[in-house]
Structure 1
Amino acid sequence: MLTLTDVTWLNICLVGVGVYVAKQVLIKKNPAPYPPGPAGWPLVGNVSDMPRIKPCLRFTEWGKKYGDITHVQVLGQHIIVLNSVKTAMEMLDSKSAIYSDRPVFPMGGELVGFKDALPFLPYGDRFRRYRKNLHRAIGSRAAVDEYRQIGEIETRRFLRRVLAKPNQLQEHVRHTTGAVILRISYGYEVKENSDPFVGLADRAMDGISQATTPGAFMVDILPLLAKVPAWFPGAGFQRIAREWRETLEEMVSAPHKLVKDQMAAGIAPISFTSNLLEDCAVSAEEDHIVKWSAFSLYGGGTDTTVSAIYSFFLAMTLFPDLQKKAQAEIDAVVGPDRLPSFADRDSLPYIEALVKEVLRWNVVSPTGFPHRATEDDDHDGYYIPKGSMVLPNIWFMLNDQRIYANPSQFNPERFLTNDGKEPEIDPRTICFGFGRRICPGLHLADASIWISTAMSLAVFDISKVVENGVEIIPEFEPSLGSISHPKPFKCSIKPRSATALGLIRQDANY
């Protein structure tokens, strides 16, 4: 990985791009000023200002200093950072016709190969065909209701795995989330232990998270570095990209081929992929769209859901009083003789509020995915030039004191009506993105997080671990990457009662 302090590389790059950057100097007067931002250097602009570690925090500093819209320029590329929900909605929602494109991602998109996945597609016909496929399967609550049984069965299995091996919580969360989406996407039922597709998908999604972190790779700032051979000193990113690309290609192709082979043999279960392959005369182009649509369904719904569910267990470890409130509601509404189901959702407002607070507290995608302006825009008196990269600082939006009281405090009750006070803004209107690029799997992710939360609280007490008489307090320290996960932590997970133990041990297909 290249660093911004590598003087040798910077000199080489400046020679190669000097002429290009010089052409970016304005030869005509802008119709309005750029949004405010840190002053840059001649030619290179704000190269040294772009953060590589936790960019959301640097963007937040800019927002507090310069306002809701910040502008920087890196080697001719205009970058606009949005630091308020209001501005993000005004631009990315209300003006979605010009803010729905994606920039080119040299590392993650081109070198690793994620350019064919839905989040990376430019706005156009192929993007709309992907979205149409996904909307039909999971684009509404009604559509997701078709998969309620899968979610409930797999979550019951999750409870049994946690009971058997509570110290492998993160692995169980990944396994269960993967099981739900692999079943929907490909009709594939995962193996109980060390499933190859689950492991493969985990590696692929870890690659995408690292490859798309803003500023993590110099090639994203200087795209011409993509032409540098892997053997050249400092070009280790080429080797990393090759490894991630091989994992990605296997993850995209292997389950797709499995479905096609099963269809040829007449034994394919009904799934997202089999339905699409049956519904059309499968040209090479259509096969490509089906294959990548299915991967986009998997990729868009697993990593974020894993992060949120793992965050829930961390929150319950840290805030036992809130856990007791949630369990009291389940006990009163559902009772001790059965597990909660989706049919109980409307009757469990505190559980609903708890899920919302988990999504706000650990922001799964801190800086969202960048949008690209396809036309010049004048917004709020500022000039946004065509081709600008627009980054919504979702982390700050969900920690903004203007809309969330005491945002550093974990408080589900902020989303309940108390003493006539209106609930605070639902984080699900923010954390899943904006405009026409909003996450198409948001309803499936929301359902998976809710059922895991409700069932786990019904049967488990989650608490801090005690070692040698000392209570271990986990730290809330999210990992780096475009997808944020809590770092691994220890917690104690035990059945609440003998009755709860019996519910956990029930046949998962019950």
Structure 2
Amino acid sequence: MGWWYINGRPYSGEVQHFFSDPPTMSVDLLHFDAINPTLCLVLTVAFIIVNRLAAGKARFLPPGPRPLPVVGNIFGIKVNEPWITYKEWAQIHGNIVYSRLFGQEIIILNSEEVAKDLLERRSRNYSDRPQYITTDLFGWSFHLGNRGYGNEFRQQRRQFHQAFHTKAALKYHPVQLRRVNQLLVHLLETPENYANHLQTLNTSVIMEVTYGYDPAPHHDHLVALVERATALFVKENTADKAIIFNALPFLQYIPPWFPGANFQRKALQCQKLTAEMIEAPFQYTKQSIAAGTAIPSSMLYDLFSRIPEDDPSYELAMKSSTATAFSSGSETSSSLLQIFVLAMLFNPDVQQKAQLEIDAVVGRNRLPDFSDRPSLPYVEAVFRETLRWRPVVPLGVPHATTNDDNFEGYFIPKGATIVTNIWAMAQNEDKYPEPSKYKPERFFTADGKLNDDTLGFVFGFGRRVCAGRHIGDATVWAAIASILAVFNVTKAKDEHGDDIEVIPQWTNGITVHPLPFPCCFEPRLGGMTSSQMM
């Protein structure tokens, strides 16, 4: 029998004696003499297991579906709707689910309460972001939402907070109302292009708020630039593709001309668009400031007024901060408004009830403004239900752990990707009975007052909560209230005068919204002209 060294001391005996010892000691195999190679391998594996158990915390990972070798759980996920798969897993395994995709460990949080426990109450350990090769390939490493948690993130976040915190966002209300009025005119003149008009509304608000730039009402170059770059990134850079590239990093070196390298071609296209999207509006504002023609209320103007002379990194951070605002707000807000239009098409009773409230509070001689918001509780409930019914970012933006952690008896490893299933939280049947139905009434208490559920979870958690949420919230609310005041959203008619039935089809990617569908925007006041809306 060969010699063993346990805790630095020689030991000779039967194998079963060793395995009967408590697994709390530190065990090191130094050498074997005249021992069977197969047994050596078995014992080596055993030593590794014992050492892991002896190291401290036991690795009781959260429950989840059994992964396949190498590829993990990739074949068990609905590619276009992974949030549905994750919710199904939660019904089997609980609200915290472990899965693997290739070598990446993924923890899926299907409960709002669990997400708050980890991402807010333990935010120090859960505020990082997974770093994906595809983010660099598409040129989106600049984005605040993609940055790892560190000094660059904190500097950029401070700049965002200065421009978009609750009180600072109030100064942008006139811009938002003016742009909403322009939206109404566009809907009156060319209602069939409503999806483009909703996109233009949000992009124009963000561009004026961020850069002081007044885009052309149609076919503006910078507006088209951000829309194309953002659409490419959110559609192509899905979590499964990102993890595959991280697991097989050689894929990034496949040249765009190679047969089948469509992803690389789109990445290169997006990279060029994104570079121009970051630089062009920034230079516009910089030149406007130098010429004395800049709008003083814009985010970038404010940041330039505070630029420290001894910090060359500040201007680079400004470019990233403003480009983040520019690219984020337009995509999520326009998607939310398209969901609102679909909801009104399917729920004419909700539309009518909201319109009656607006007529009673605001009247028909003017449009709603932000001073009316506290007096329009049902419209507020419509806004909240639109957030809940079909979340725009159904899986949020993933977090990452910076250290090992233990939660409710489960081990959560360092470097794990943390996915918040916003869709599952919004479909929580205990909190939102009949969750598939569009019911604004769910936000009222028994005495008819609005409850305190503002759907904060749709904007993210902890230190990574959406920094521009106050701007987006105000733009979407103003658009909802004004569309309800001016138009009836109804079904379109075919050539025989019959209603065209709509079966919604949805985009897939980081953000989700319905594909354009036929509908009509009928003015509630007959003979209304565009000049009356301005």
- TM (norm. structure 1) is 0.90
Between 1:47-56 and 1:187-196, the stretch displaced more is 47-56
Provide the C-alpha distance between the structure 2 equivalents of 1:44 and 1:346, rounded to a whole number of angstroms: 52
Following superposition, the deviation at residue 506 of structure 1 comes to 3.0
Structure 1 segment 419-498 matched on structure 2, within 5 A: 419=447, 423=451, 425-427=453-455, 429-467=456-494, 468-498=496-526
Equivalent position of 1:37 in the other structure: 64
Q: Distance in 1 between matches of 2:450 and 2:428?
A: 17
Q: Would you say 1:28 and 2:52 are equivalent positions?
A: yes
* Shift in Å, 1:200: 0.8
RMSD, aligned CA: 2.0
DSSP 3-state at the match of 1:170 = helix
Q: Is the 8 A contact 2:377 2:450 kept in 1?
A: no
Mapped partners of 2:439, 2:412: distance in 1: 37
For residue 261 of structure 1, what is the aligned residue in structure 2?
A: 287
What displacement does 1:179 show? 0.9
Residue 48 of structure 1, CA deviation: 3.1
User: Take 2:206 and 2:452, find their aligned partners in 1: how far apart are those partners?
Assistant: 31
Q: 1:231 Cα deviation (Å)?
A: 4.0
CA contact (8 A) 1:463 1:491 kept: yes
In structure 1, the residue matched to 2:313 is 285
Aligned equivalents of 2:390, 2:70: Cα separation in 1:
38
Residues 325 and 235 (structure 1 numbering): CA distance in 2 closer, same or farther, change over 3 Å? Answer: same
Residues 69-88 of structure 1 mapped to structure 2, 5 A cutoff: 69-88=96-115
The sequence identity of aligned pairs, in percent, is 36
Question: What is the CA distance between 1:115 and its match in structure 2?
Answer: 1.2
Amino acid at match of 1:341: D
Report the 3-state secondary structure (helix = DSSP H, G, I; strand = E; otherwise coil) of the residue aligned with 1:80: strand
C-alpha displacement of 1:192: 1.4
**Matched residue pairs, number?**
480
* SS in structure 1 at match of 2:98: strand
Match of 1:311 in 2: 339
**Deviating runs (4+, > 6 A) in structure 1?**
none
| TM-superposition CA deviations, 1:366-423 (whole Å, max 9, x none) | 1011100001010111000000000001011101112111001100010112357984
Query: Alpha carbons of 1:424 and 1:280: their partners in 2 closer, same or farther (altered >3 Å)?
Result: closer
> How far, CA to CA, are the matches of 2:240 and 2:84 in structure 1?
13
2:223 aligned to 185, 198, 201, which one? 198
> Counterparts in 2 of 1:79-478, with a 5 A limit?
79-107=106-134, 109-140=135-166, 142-216=167-241, 218-270=244-296, 271-281=298-308, 284-419=312-447, 423=451, 425-427=453-455, 429-467=456-494, 468-478=496-506
User: Separation in 2 of the partners of 1:473 and 1:432?
Assistant: 32
Q: Secondary structure at the match of 2:323?
A: helix
Cα distance change, pair 324–44 in 1 and its aligned pair in 2 (3 A):
closer
Q: Is the 8 A contact 1:215 1:221 kept in 2?
A: no
Q: Is the 8 A contact 2:62 2:98 kept in 1?
A: yes
1:52 is matched with which residue: 56, 79, 101? 79
Could you tell me how far apart the structure 2 residues matched to 1:231 and 1:340 are? Answer: 54
Give unmatched runs, 5+ long, in structure 2.
1-44
1:13-51 Cα distance to aligned partner (Å, 9 max, x none): xxxxxxxxx9xx977236241001111233443343354
The whole-number CA distance in structure 2 between the counterparts of 1:296 and 1:453 is 25
Asked if the contact 2:110/2:424 (under 8 Å) is kept, the reply is yes
* DSSP-derived class of the 2:379 partner: helix
- Measured in 2, the distance between the counterparts of 1:231 and 1:315 equals 43
In structure 2, the CA distance between the partners of 1:227 and 1:184, relative to structure 1 (3 Å rule), is: same
SS of aligned partner of 1:443? helix
| In 2: Cα distance, 1:55 partner to 1:416 partner | 31
Note if contact 2:129-2:147 (Cα within 8 Å) is conserved in structure 1.
yes
> What is the distance in 2 between the residues matched to 1:486 and 1:310?
7
Aligned-partner SS, 2:381 = helix
1:475 positional shift: 2.3
Q: Does the Cα contact within 8 Å between 1:51 and 1:215 map onto a contact in 2?
A: no
1:49-84 CA distances to partner (integer Å, 9 max, x unpaired)? 354321111111111111101111233321001111
Query: In the aligned structure 2, how far is the partner of 1:167 from the partner of 1:201?
Result: 22
- Whether the 8 Å contact between 1:52 and 1:216 is mirrored in structure 2 is no
Secondary structure at 1:151's aligned position in 2?
helix
Deviation, structure 1 residue 471: 1.2
Report the CA distance between 1:274 and its aligned residue: 2.1
More relative contact order in 1 or in 2 (CA 8 Å, sep 6+)?
1
1:404, 1:424 within 8 Å by CA — same for their partners in 2?
no
Q: Distance in 1 between matches of 2:258 and 2:421?
A: 35
Task: Name the counterpart of 1:8.
Answer: none
The question of whether the paired residues in 1 share the 8 Å contact of 2:163 and 2:302 is answered with no
Equivalent position amino acid for 1:48 in 2:
F
Distance in structure 2 (CA, Å) of the matches to 1:256 and 1:350 = 40
Q: Shift of the alpha carbon at 1:210?
A: 1.7
**1:161–1:172 contact (8 Å) kept in structure 2:** yes
